[in-house]
Amino acid sequence: MKRKVLLGLLAALGLGFAQKTLVFGANGEPVSLEPGNITDGISIYVQRQIYDTLVDFKPGSTEVTAGLATSWYSSQDGKVWTFRLRQGVRFQDGTELTAEAVKFNVERWWDPKNPTRIDAAARYEIWPELFGGFKGDPGSLLKEVQVVDKYTVRFVLTQPFPAFPAAIGSGYFGIASPAAIQKDGARYGSPTGSAVGTGPFRLVEWRPGEQIVLERNPSYWKKGFPKVDRVVFRVIKDPAARLAALKAGTIDFTTDIPPANLKDLEADKNLDPVFRPSFNVGYLALNPAYKPLSDPRVRQAIAMAINKKAIVQAFWGKLGVTDGHFTPPSMKAFQSPKVTDYEFNPQKAKALLAEAGYPNGFDLELWYMPVSRPYFPTPKEIAEAMAADLSALGIRVKLQTKDWASYLADRKKAPGFQAYMLGWTGDYGDPQNFYDPHFACPIADLFDASGQPLCVKELGDLLTKAATTPGLEERKRLYQQADELTFSLALRIPIVHSQPLLAKRKNISGWTPSPLGSESFETIEKR
């Protein structure tokens, strides 16, 4: 009898029952829950549950739709964007969403001297990657943020930027409570601090290395959502362990399942394979700061020595394609017909290497990620396959890795990693989002011989022009030129465009994966 009473009490509180709690198998741990101060997809996935953005995207697509802003428009010259905010929205701490709150967030991301920045060591590096630079930088696209009235905010740009609404709506830029940030200071967004947005779930607990617990936001502005009371992000880095947990029913759904497990999923009567629309690139970065890699002939030789088709077939099967384009196949209109792929030809590659002065090869440190990602579900094994191919040229590869947060940060510390694996899932449906974070000057994670961030001026100028040109046909022409130039430079070798494999138990419904790599769990139900 006592047990029934206890269960009834728990049910009334929305606690303790599987049908009220979603358990997500996370492939790693967030770097931070502070918006604007992250670049990794794991952090974004958790943040999407806590925060909303000004502009959202329609489920399963890259098409923009209303978020915290109900409408927006640009000036005739494309340099001023005005957003009208949704009224009556409150942060999870009870404070109101206003234009001042939006300005507070944006100026923290944009202005290195802003006194509300909570940590002097914080990089906020995604802002210059997407918007050309910080306040005071010559390349900064943002000139000013203006509060027009309580619910209207205006962005004044230095030049036209047609993709601005989609860019400011990307998952990095959740709008946080100014009061919570000011209260927590340097603890905000960390395991010992708070994370307060307007989203469907609010942070309850973050146990580093184990799990993050979120609970339903009772004042969420979307009526009838979310559909469950709690979400638990359980950290399970190993893909095989995540799949085992899914089969055992200790997690309800997960991402980044190795494609080789597709048949296993299809054969399990309790599970469903789920496919995220392909919108990514997994690449091998080659850093010119390391002398052998400063010669483009060496980089091109490496590109020709890696049997990309065999690797993709072995590790992705029908869920991956490889080509020479840095942008995914869905952006074909912006890709040059002159670019196909690097020829797999070890003999020619060896001759090119000898021509560059390395007939006997050289030593190379190749860094692989410690976590599985949509573009590299089994990073170590893929790195081993590339290393085996490179050994045919006499390149002696030493595989390296480190924890995820350090991996992301240290590759940007001069002179950087010699060669490393990483990838990118698009944040919005424009080629600028693939090119600028990886090739616009200065390139944050590739360096020149003096240890300065690399700048290929011809490419940088081309990308600036492409990003700010309003005419679609002219933008296509410019990005096709960028496609040809990045291919010949071979600074980042595209290895795969994958269709990420996800999985859920059959009693989970309402999950529509986004091509952008993460989505809100507000629509998910558990029977």
pLDDT tens per residue, range 406-460: 999 999 999 999 999 999 999 999 999 999 999 999 999 999 999 999 999 999 9
Q: Put residue 29 in one of left, alpha, beta given phi > 0 → left and psi -120 to 50 → alpha.
A: beta
Q: How far is CA 494 from CA 406, 418, 441, in A?
A: 23, 17, 20
Beta-bridged to residue 509, according to DSSP, are 525
> Would you say 284 and 301 are in contact if contact means Cβ atoms under 8 Å apart?
no
Catalogue the long-range contacts made by 109-112 (C-beta closer than 8 Å, 24 or more residues apart). 109/35, 109/36, 109/37, 109/173, 110/134, 110/135, 110/140, 110/142, 110/145, 111/135, 112/136
Q: Of 417, 423, 421, which Cα lies nearest the Cα of 446?
A: 417
* pLDDT computed for residue 6 by the predictor: 47
> Would you say 55 and 64 are in contact if contact means Cβ atoms under 8 Å apart?
yes
Q: List domains and CATH numbers for the chain.
A: 21-234+503-526 (3.40.190.10), 280-498 (3.10.105.10)
Token pair for 266: 């299809």
Residue 480: what residue type?
Q
Q: How far is CA 371 from CA 181, 283, 496, in A?
A: 29, 15, 17
58: CB partners within 8 A, 6+ apart:
64, 65
95 pLDDT higher than 60: yes
- pTM over 0.85? The answer is no
* pLDDT computed for residue 2 by the predictor: 45
* pLDDT computed for residue 86 by the predictor: 98
* pLDDT computed for residue 116 by the predictor: 85
Strands (E) located in 75-189: 80-85, 142-149, 152-157
* pLDDT computed for residue 331 by the predictor: 93
- Determine how β-strand 320-321 pairs with β-strand 396-400: unpaired
The confidence band for 15, taking pLDDT boundaries of 50, 70 and 90, is very low
**CA count, 13 A, side-chain hemisphere, 44:** 21
Q: How many other C-beta atoms can be found within 10 angstroms of the C-beta atom of residue 125?
A: 19
Give the mean model confidence (pLDDT) for residues 383-400: 98
Report how far residue 396's alpha carbon sits from residue 365's, in angstroms, rounded to the nearest whole number: 8
Token pair for 181: 């940030």
Query: In degrees rounded to 5, what are phi and psi of residue 446?
Result: -125, 145
Sign of CA dihedral 72, 76, 81, 84: negative
Q: How far is CA 457 from CA 132, 184, 460, in A?
A: 14, 42, 5
Beta-bridged to residue 502, according to DSSP, are 274
Average per-residue pLDDT for the chain = 94
* pLDDT computed for residue 341 by the predictor: 97
* pLDDT computed for residue 120 by the predictor: 57
Report how far residue 254's alpha carbon sits from residue 27's, in angstroms, rounded to the nearest whole number: 8
Q: Of 213, 181, 204, 275, which Cα lies nearest the Cα of 498?
A: 275
Report how far residue 125's alpha carbon sits from residue 32's, in angstroms, rounded to the nearest whole number: 13
Give the mean model confidence (pLDDT) for residues 310-333: 95
522: CB partners within 8 A, 6+ apart:
49, 200, 201, 220, 222, 225, 226, 227
14 pLDDT higher than 70: no
Report how far residue 101's alpha carbon sits from residue 86's, in angstroms, rounded to the nearest whole number: 13
Between these two residues, 445 and 14, which has the higher pLDDT value? 445
Q: Where are the alpha helices (DSSP H) in 270-413?
A: 296-305, 308-315, 346-355, 379-391, 404-410
103 pLDDT higher than 90: yes
Helix, strand, coil fractions of the chain, as percent rounded to 5: 35, 20, 45
Strands (E) located in 448-512: 453-454, 492-498, 501-505, 508-509
* pLDDT computed for residue 468 by the predictor: 87
16 pLDDT higher than 70: no
Q: Of 505, 515, 512, which Cα lies nearest the Cα of 374?
A: 515
* pLDDT computed for residue 121 by the predictor: 60
Q: How many other C-beta atoms can be found within 10 angstroms of the C-beta atom of residue 69?
A: 24
Q: Each residue of 484-514: pLDDT tens digit?
A: 999 999 999 999 999 999 999 999 999 999 9
9 pLDDT higher than 90: no
Maximum pairwise Cα distance, the chain: 83
Report how far residue 366's alpha carbon sits from residue 383's, in angstroms, rounded to the nearest whole number: 8
The confidence band for 11, taking pLDDT boundaries of 50, 70 and 90, is very low
